[in-house]
Amino acid sequence: MADQGLVRETACAVVEKLKAGEVTPLDLLDVLESRVAEVDSKVNALPTPCFDRAREHAKALMRKPAAERGLLAGLPVPIKDLTDVAGVLTTQGSPIFKDSIPAKSDILVETLEHNGGVIYAKSNTPEFGAGANTFNEVFGPTRNPWDTSRSAAGSSGGAAVALATGTAWLAHGSDMGGSLRNPASFCGIVGLRPSIGRVAHTPKFGVDRTLGVQGPMARNVEDLALLLDAMSGEHPADPLSLPALPASFLSAARSGQKPKRVAYSPDLGITPVDPEVRAVTRKAAERLEEAGAIVEEAHPDLREAHECFHVLRAFDFAISKAALLRSRRDLLKPEVIWNIEEGLKLSVEQLERAEAQRVAMTARTLAFFDTYDLLLTPATIVPPFPVENRYVAECDGKKFDNYVEWLGIVYAITLACCPALSLPCGFTASGLPVGLQMVAKPRAEAQLLAGANVLEDILGLRGATPIDPRAPK
């Protein structure tokens, strides 16, 4: 019987055990299958297991010498249900694709498997990743393990909950308007939106779509860096992909490099924020002073973010989903229909204006990073909300105009082309996690991970997960 205590180990520690021959990939799959059976029915994080496929892959990997099993050495990793895994049900959270089994894996999956990752499950996502609450008509809602009456956020909600409950050591996710950062914040784990091109993926519907990226999630910063290393690198089929850097992201995270000057902004000047979230994140940001950093309140000028994101996101939905609106409208959720229709109404003048706004915001943000090493903000403007609420309709007295406006604090950073992560930084009075968004200039993931690891040490919250799912108090 494999040791169930392994679920509490860090990914880095488990990989070392794999490399030393102390455990095998098959042992780890046994551990995970048992843990999934124990807890997943309470949270619905991994609705599509594929353990038979995983064991075949693990056996093939074990036939290689230990030194040739890749960076992850056989560590199991779940894939978000928006991304194709050959031979495995990939629904995108949509009734339209409830029986879809792709013949070929996404480039991202091929990269992970080449680097020693073993795919054992698909993690739950909202329909087409639309909206920051993980529920869909195929599998139902994913619940927050800190309080199962609460949302896990989204769209990488299943991935975050798997990490928080010990049914994953590392997890894949993706992010357009905060989908790696919001669930990390709500679930007390770490999620990183990398720079455009850092993680190669299979282009669909357009080769130059840059709002959405693929990225890693983990329980701590070093594990996050390990998975980013295993995901990174260029691929000829993804024209935007970047070559791997000479030094690993894990070595960067462990470098001890401290930021000298950081900015904290409670709201980026563009959004209301729950007072408790504001207080918890400010207190955490100020603790970087203990590492010798100067912490000042400041932010770049991102005032066009709401208008710009609304237009560019709608355009992306029109490109990628208009054919489904024409053929399968009856099976699309209202928010997805709204997104596509907003995109189809756009004029070239609106697109011209939005693209110019994005260029201007990115330039101003780059100039901001001439002064500051990092920018810190709340990762999500509210604590985890009731799971039956489809989205956040208002915050601190302000009603939002649409179902994505409450995500402005993260999608503004998406528009500025910056890497950003959510780091667990404290809890509300009722014991729900709060995440701190940490942002660096484009392509500065190494600097970001180093600073996040320093703050993680100071805050002392590493090891708060995994937890057993907790019923409402």
Alpha helix locations (H) across 270-419? Answer: 275-286, 305-328, 334-344, 348-368, 408-415
Residue 205 has pLDDT above 80, yes or no: yes
The predicted pLDDT at position 134 comes to: 98
How far is it, in rounded angstroms, from Cα 88 to Cα 402? 34
pLDDT band at 248 (very low <50, low <70, confident <90, very high): very high
How far is it, in rounded angstroms, from Cα 351 to Cα 268? 24
pLDDT, tens digit (0-9, with 9 covering 90-100), for 404-436: 999 999 999 999 999 999 999 999 999 999 999
Decide if 80 is catalytic: yes
How far is it, in rounded angstroms, from Cα 463 to Cα 473? 23
Using CA atoms in the order 449, 454, 459, 462, what is the torsion angle rounded to 10 degrees?
60
Residue 1 has pLDDT above 80, yes or no: no
- The stretch 453-473 carries a mean pLDDT of 97
The predicted pLDDT at position 47 comes to: 98
> Catalytic: which of 80, 122, 321, 441?
80
For residue 387, CA distances in Å to 54, 142, 438 come to 31, 8, 26
pLDDT, tens digit (0-9, with 9 covering 90-100), for 130-141: 989 999 999 999
Are 265 and 257 in contact by the 8 Å Cβ rule? The answer is no
pLDDT, tens digit (0-9, with 9 covering 90-100), for 214-231: 999 999 999 999 999 999
Are 144 and 132 in contact by the 8 Å Cβ rule? The answer is no
Structural element, H or E, at residue 377 = strand 374-378
Alpha helix locations (H) across 117-232? Answer: 157-165, 181-187, 221-231
Structural element, H or E, at residue 228 = helix 221-231
- The stretch 445-459 carries a mean pLDDT of 98
The predicted pLDDT at position 457 comes to: 98
Q: What's the distance, Cα to Cα, between the start and end of the chain in Å?
A: 34
Residue 46 has pLDDT above 90, yes or no: yes
Q: Any bridge partners for residue 424, and if so which?
A: 435
Residue 52 has pLDDT above 80, yes or no: yes
DSSP state of 400: P
Decide if 441 is catalytic: no
If you search the block for the tokens 């528009």, which residue do you land on? 415
The predicted pLDDT at position 66 comes to: 87
> Catalytic: which of 94, 179, 248, 320?
179
Are 156 and 217 in contact by the 8 Å Cβ rule? The answer is yes
pTM of this prediction?
0.98
> Catalytic: which of 94, 155, 241, 320?
155
Enumerate domains of the chain plus CATH numbers: 4-459 (3.90.1300.10)
How far is it, in rounded angstroms, from Cα 282 to Cα 287? 9
Q: What is the CA radius of gyration of the chain?
A: 20
The predicted pLDDT at position 291 comes to: 97
For residue 271, CA distances in Å to 85, 144, 395, 420 come to 38, 24, 9, 18
How far is it, in rounded angstroms, from Cα 378 to Cα 388? 23
Give all strands of the β-sheet with 117-123 in edge-to-edge order.
48-49, 117-123, 75-80
pLDDT, tens digit (0-9, with 9 covering 90-100), for 261-302: 999 999 999 999 999 999 999 999 999 999 999 999 999 999
Decide if 255 is catalytic: no
Residue 340 has pLDDT above 90, yes or no: yes
pLDDT, tens digit (0-9, with 9 covering 90-100), for 79-123: 999 999 999 999 999 999 999 999 999 999 999 999 999 999 999
- Mean pLDDT, rounded, of the chain: 97
Structural element, H or E, at residue 33 = helix 25-43
Residues 6+ apart with CB under 8 A from 24: 18, 58, 62, 74
Share of the chain above pLDDT 70, in %: 100
Helix (H, G, I), strand (E, B) or coil at 190: strand
